[in-house]
Amino acid sequence: MSNTELTVDVLVIGWGKAGKTIAGRLAGEGRKVALVEKSPQMYGGTCINIACVPTKDLIDSVSKRDGRDPISYFASAVADRDTLIARLNHAMLEDKVLLLDGVASFTGPHSVAVSGGDEEIAVHAETIIINTGAHPATLPIPGADGPRVHDSTTIQHVDPLPSRLVVVGGGFIGLEFAQMFARFGSHVTLLEAGETFAPALDSDVADRVRTMLDSEGVTIVTDARATSFHDTGDHVDVVTGGQTFTADAVLVAAGRLPATEDLHLEAAGVATDERGYITVDDQLRTTVDGVYAVGDVNGGPQFTYVSLDDNRVLWDTLHDGPRRRNDRVAVPTTTFLDPPLSQVGMTMRQARQSGLNVLVATKDVATIAAMPRPKIVGQTEGLIRVLVNADDHTILGATLWCIDSQELVNLVGLAMRLGARYETLRDGIWTHPSSTEAFNEVLGALATLD
């Protein structure tokens, strides 16, 4: 860059899934598009560099450890992770999008200063798309900036593998890392600030997940809110209200915050909500005409596939199409434990509160005769639960804790979006042996919800 000015049709701030996809599509129809990314290490966005892809690669690696030395195997797994990310980043945006390296800050509703080192360029665009994402939240407690305290990004390169790891936070990120590090060989303690472990799950499912993690060496402590970290030089003490936990490293998995600190949104008049996320309507329009916000920064569900759908919504917004954010129903989620835990729609607790006439079927994976795949691969932990509206036979929700659940939940979500009757899954013709066959048996055992 040089000290100059640039006018484009579209400026995208941040290289995440939604931003880079919409940038390529708009450039493909002949618009002049520029994309700003402040860090070359984040080309491609959060998912591919520091979140979904690298963490799942580490989870896959630990499943193959087979008793090998924990420290050396962890180091080799991290090296393999880095190689994979470098390979995936090799091919990114096509040349039709102008890439600007630097930090973007609004100077007006349709003007942005992009600073890189000592250089700055003023960019003007009638259409500006904010796609800066979110970052791990820090804890406002003493010692939170200590050298042994990590977030979900830096813990992936902790060196050496910690013998004792304390995970602060019992959300899906905390759970995934807790099991992963326990399998690499760390002694893991997970601290949940609330009184209930995994409150988003039905209590029986949460109890079984907790039992599984305990059997793998993860100690779960509820009602344990960290109040300070004390680095002693060779370890760190995690202090809660009534206990102290000693660790070689700490992972703080206490949620995420919008990455807006560099944007100077007030200069453009872009409003944010009480959490700091950019306020958008169902067409992803901010409070400023021609300025849009996509991906995690707009406060929606923080998943790559939702960010991709933001790209579709924004495309329709810019082309007078019908798609809206409020069209989304039955959006699935997966926590990548082993086996993975997936959910879509209602839990049993929510179904009881709904006032609907509900049928439920629940089966332990180990007892599903029509589902031999878990037995073939030696992973029979888990259960499958499906909730059905007794009046019209549509599916209200499912909890799928089993091998391949990250795929099965997509099928259930599709059935829900199409308004299909549960018999469509129960009587489906599925390949054999596959995990999908479970629906043939599980949905044949529906009973009235208590």
Boundary residue ending a domain (303, 327, 351): 327
Q: For residues 381 and 419, state if they share a domain.
A: yes
> 87 falls in which pLDDT band (50, 70, 90)?
confident
Distances 368 to 82, 287, 349, 399 between C-alpha atoms, Å:
39, 52, 24, 15
Q: Is residue 82 part of a domain?
A: no
pLDDT tens-place string over residues 230-244: 999 999 999 998 899
Whether the pLDDT of residue 162 is over 80: the answer is yes
Whether the pLDDT of residue 28 is over 90: the answer is yes
Q: For residues 155 and 129, state if they share a domain.
A: no
Q: Is residue 236 part of a domain?
A: yes
Closest CA to 436 of 425, 447, 445: 425
Q: For residues 132 and 264, state if they share a domain.
A: yes
Say if CB 70 and CB 185 are below 8 A apart: yes
Q: For residues 127 and 183, state if they share a domain.
A: no
pLDDT tens-place string over residues 262-291: 999 999 999 999 999 999 999 999 999 999
CATH number at residue 425: 3.30.390.30
* Percent above pLDDT 70 for the chain: 98
Q: Residue 42 is encoded by which pair of tokens?
A: 């984040």
Q: For residues 124 and 19, state if they share a domain.
A: yes
Q: For residues 168 and 245, state if they share a domain.
A: yes
Boundary residue ending a domain (266, 293, 327): 327
Give me the pLDDT at residue 116, please. Answer: 87
* Residues contacting 437, CB < 8 A, separation 6+: 370, 371, 372, 373, 430, 431
Domain, as residue range, for 303: 4-44+92-136+257-327
Give me the pLDDT at residue 42, please. Answer: 72
Q: For residues 205 and 276, state if they share a domain.
A: no
Q: How many C-beta neighbours within 10 Å does residue 311 have? A: 24
DSSP per position, 262-278: TT-HHHHT--B-TTSPB
Q: How many domains does the chain have?
A: 3
Q: For residues 263 and 250, state if they share a domain.
A: no
Closest CA to 391 of 415, 359, 368, 369: 359
Helices then strands, each counted (H, E), the chain = 13, 23
Q: Is residue 69 part of a domain?
A: no
- Cα separation, 186 vs 217, whole angstroms: 8
Q: Residue 437 is encoded by which pair of tokens?
A: 């066959």
Q: What is the pTM of this model?
A: 0.93
Q: List the single range of 87-96, 107-116, 129-138 with lowest mean pLDDT.
A: 87-96
Say if CB 263 and CB 288 are below 8 A apart: no
For strand 291-293 and strand 333-335, is the pairing parallel, antiparallel, or unpaired?
A: unpaired
Whether the pLDDT of residue 217 is over 70: the answer is yes
* Percent above pLDDT 90 for the chain: 90
Say if CB 26 and CB 33 are below 8 A apart: yes
Q: What are phi and psi of 430, to 5 degrees?
A: -110, 150
Q: Is residue 126 part of a domain?
A: yes
> 381 falls in which pLDDT band (50, 70, 90)?
very high
Q: For residues 316 and 358, state if they share a domain.
A: no
Closest CA to 112 of 267, 288, 269: 267
* Coarse DSSP helix, strand, coil percentages of the chain, rounded to the nearest 5 percent: 35, 25, 40
Q: Is residue 54 part of a domain?
A: no
- Cα separation, 447 vs 450, whole angstroms: 9
Q: Is the dihedral of CA 329, 343, 189, 196 positive or negative?
A: positive
Beta strands in 103-260 (DSSP E): 103-108, 111-116, 119-130, 134-136, 149-150, 164-168, 187-191, 218-221, 228-231, 236-239, 244-247, 249-252, 256-258
Which are the catalytic amino acids? 432
Residue 30 CB-density burial (10 A; 0-12 exposed, 13-18 middle, 19+ buried): exposed
Q: How many C-beta neighbours within 10 Å does residue 445 have? A: 14
Mean pLDDT across the chain:
95
- Rg from Cα positions in the chain: 24
Whether the pLDDT of residue 149 is over 70: the answer is yes
Closest CA to 150 of 167, 133, 175, 132: 167
Region of 403 on the Ramachandran plot (φ > 0 left; ψ -120 to 50 alpha; else beta): beta
Q: Is residue 174 part of a domain?
A: yes
As beta bridge partners, residue 37 has 101
Q: For residues 8 and 123, state if they share a domain.
A: yes
Report which of residues 202 and 94 the model is more confident about. Answer: 202
Q: Is residue 167 part of a domain?
A: yes
Q: Is residue 175 part of a domain?
A: yes
Whether the pLDDT of residue 412 is over 80: the answer is yes
Q: For residues 207 and 266, state if they share a domain.
A: no
Give me the pLDDT at residue 94, please. Answer: 55
Give me the pLDDT at residue 223, please. Answer: 96
- Cα separation, 442 vs 386, whole angstroms: 8
CATH number at residue 30: 3.50.50.60
Q: For residues 358 and 410, state if they share a domain.
A: yes
Boundary residue ending a domain (327, 353, 387): 327
DSSP per position, 172-217: HHHHHHHHHHHHHT-EEEEE-SSSSSSTTS-HHHHHHHHHHHHHTT
Q: Residue 249 is encoded by which pair of tokens?
A: 């490293």
Whether the pLDDT of residue 426 is over 80: the answer is yes
Give me the pLDDT at residue 226, please. Answer: 97
Mean pLDDT over residues 225-233, rounded?
Answer: 96
Q: Tell me: cis bond preceding 258? Omega within 30 of 0 counts.
A: no
Whether the pLDDT of residue 90 is over 90: the answer is no
Give me the pLDDT at residue 450, please. Answer: 82
Query: Longest C-alpha distance within the chain, in Å?
Result: 70
> 1 falls in which pLDDT band (50, 70, 90)?
very low
Residues, the chain: 450
* Residues contacting 273, CB < 8 A, separation 6+: 279, 299
Whether the pLDDT of residue 92 is over 60: the answer is no
